[in-house]
């Protein structure tokens, strides 16, 4: 009898515990959106190494994304990769972004020598100082530097989102896998998010 009473007494406790762990009945947290667009390594040196399918589709969508951020007056940061031993050297043609990408000299520039744009650069400080908390990523390579930057942002407790259709890698099928396994949004979904001013 005592055992039965004990079990009956524990049921409410167990239900409350399950409710707390699972989040049942709790509202999803909303974060005030302070976004920045980071355009990764779309340079003359690396673009020819990307899959033809990605090279045909992604640049136009990257420009559509850039235009969207300019429309809302949110910053665009352009990131360049230069390996100390293998280049490309800053100031050379291979180092520059391909001409089809609509960046400007007014867009902040970050030069990195590691896969993540956060490693040994001022990117984190720039975001902290300006109060930006949400990083949208596009560019290349989806399986390399973009992915490293994605996890670098997570490690630094930024909200980070891959943008579907704006990523490139050496195999288009790999690009799609990255879009599937990471938190990703379409440009249409991003526009809706910017309109709301919050991100989940």
Structural domain includes residue 2: no
**Confidence check: pLDDT of 104 > 50:** yes
Distance CA 20, CA 18 (A): 5
For 160, the token pair is 């980070």
Structural domain includes residue 11: no
For the chain, the domain total comes to: 1
Structural domain includes residue 189: yes
87 in Cβ contact with 94 (< 8 Å): yes
Structural domain includes residue 57: yes
Structural domain includes residue 3: no
The boundaries of the domain holding residue 153 are 28-199
pLDDT given for residue 13 in this prediction: 32
159 in Cβ contact with 138 (< 8 Å): no
Distance CA 132, CA 27 (A): 24
Distance CA 94, CA 199 (A): 37
For 120, the token pair is 């040994």
Structural domain includes residue 12: no
Structural domain includes residue 59: yes
The pTM score is 0.84
Is the bond into 18 cis (omega within 30 degrees of 0)? no
Structural domain includes residue 53: yes
Distance CA 96, CA 109 (A): 11
Lowest mean pLDDT segment, chosen from 5-9, 163-167, 171-175: 5-9
Question: Could you tell me the CATH number of the domain that includes residue 168?
Answer: 3.40.50.850
φ, ψ dihedrals at 26, nearest 5°: -100, 145
pLDDT given for residue 197 in this prediction: 81
């Amino acid at each position: 009898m005592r055992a039965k009473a004990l079990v009956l007494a524990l049921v409410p406790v167990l239900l409350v515990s399950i409710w707390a762990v699972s989040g049942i009945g709790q509202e999803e947290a909303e974060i005030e959106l302070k976004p920045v667009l980071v355009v990764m390594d779309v340079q003359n040196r690396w673009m020819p190494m990307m899959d033809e399918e990605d090279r045909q589709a992604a640049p136009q969508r990257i420009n559509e994304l850039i235009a969207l951020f300019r429309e809302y007056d949110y910053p665009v940061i352009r990131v360049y990769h230069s390996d100390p031993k293998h280049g490309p050297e800053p100031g050379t043609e291979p180092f520059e972004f391909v001409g089809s990408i609509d960046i400007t000299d007014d867009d902040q520039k970050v030069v990195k020598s590691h896969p993540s744009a956060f490693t040994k650069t001022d990117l984190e400080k720039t975001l902290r100082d300006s109060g930006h908390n949400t990083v949208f990523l596009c560019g290349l390579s989806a399986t390399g530097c973009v992915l490293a930057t994605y996890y670098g942002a997570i490690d630094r407790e930024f909200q980070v989102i891959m943008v579907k259709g704006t990523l490139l890698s050496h195999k288009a099928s790999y690009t799609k896998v990255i879009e599937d396994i990471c938190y990703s949004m379409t440009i249409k979904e991003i526009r809706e998010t910017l309109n709301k001013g919050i991100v989940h």
